[in-house]
Amino acid sequence: MNNSREPLLDLIERYPACAGLQRELETALGLLWQCVQSDGTLWLCGNGGSAADCEHWAGELLKSFSHPRSLAEAEQARLPDPLAKTLQPGMRAIPLTGFTALRSAFANDVDDEYVFAQLVWVLARPGDVLITISTSGNAANVCHAAHAARARGVSVLGLSGRSGGHLKDLCDCCIRVPEDVTYRIQELHLPIYHALSLALEAALEANSKPEAPR
């Protein structure tokens, strides 16, 4: 994992405001990588701009991000061309911001505030990670999802602002950027999840290389 930490150090160099977050960043990377290694699923939830960040981050994980990714030869052998040369390894990352039919039905029949929690309760399993993004840390639907995740034995990673709100107490790791205004918080969230994506990709690449013969 040593090389995979380089994107985190680069982040701190380019964004000095994140200098005090190194421990949290490394803890977050450990949580995410453990999930990926154990074939778990990363679930993401947030509102508004944070919902867009969930979709954005998932997109970076489900395909190649900074470096090309190719399927292993054994996987390619099971596929016809051009699929074998086109498909890419990815990390299972699912934004809870979709599920349009479920969201509208649950909002109409029950309560929209608990949609994320309902999805976590039904879909998430121990070994997974719930990524919660809330600039205030007080988004009720996001906090409900974190409660459901904890009850399910699912780890919770939070991205928030300076105070962390209620969310910080529900997370195994909460990255609280040193800003208080929503758009400024969001401006730091993006390079953070980009750095974590780069670090995960580096770890994935290193892990996929065959061991040197002894």
pLDDT digits (tens, 9 = 90+) for 41-72: 999 999 999 999 999 999 999 999 998 889 99
Residue 212 has pLDDT above 70, yes or no: no
Give percent above pLDDT 70 in the chain.
95
Residue 1 has pLDDT above 80, yes or no: no
pLDDT digits (tens, 9 = 90+) for 119-175: 999 999 999 999 999 999 999 999 999 999 999 999 999 999 999 999 999 999 999
Q: What pLDDT is attached to residue 205?
A: 85
Q: Which residues contact 176 (CB under 8 A, 6 or more apart)?
A: 21, 24, 137, 160, 161, 162, 163, 164, 168
pLDDT digits (tens, 9 = 90+) for 70-92: 999 999 999 999 999 999 999 99
Mean pLDDT throughout 79-108? 96
CB 4 within 8 A of CB 29: yes
Measured distance CA(20)–CA(8) in Å, rounded: 12
pLDDT digits (tens, 9 = 90+) for 9-25: 999 999 999 999 999 99
Question: How confident is residue 213, by pLDDT bands cut at 50, 70 and 90?
Answer: very low
Residue 214 has pLDDT above 70, yes or no: no
What angle, rounded to 10 degrees, do the helices at 100-109 and 115-123 form?
Answer: 120
Residue 3 has pLDDT above 90, yes or no: no
pLDDT digits (tens, 9 = 90+) for 175-199: 999 999 999 999 999 999 999 999 9
Mean pLDDT throughout 91-96? 97
What is the DSSP code string of 30-76?
HHHHHHHHTT--EEEEESTHHHHHHHHHHHHHSS-SSS-----HHHH
Which among 36, 4, 51, 42 is positioned nearest to 189, based on CA atoms? Answer: 51
Superfamily in which the 3-68+92-208 domain is placed by CATH: Glucose-6-phosphate isomerase like protein; domain 1 (3.40.50.10490)
Q: What pLDDT is attached to residue 67?
A: 87
Q: Where are the domains of the chain?
A: 3-68+92-208
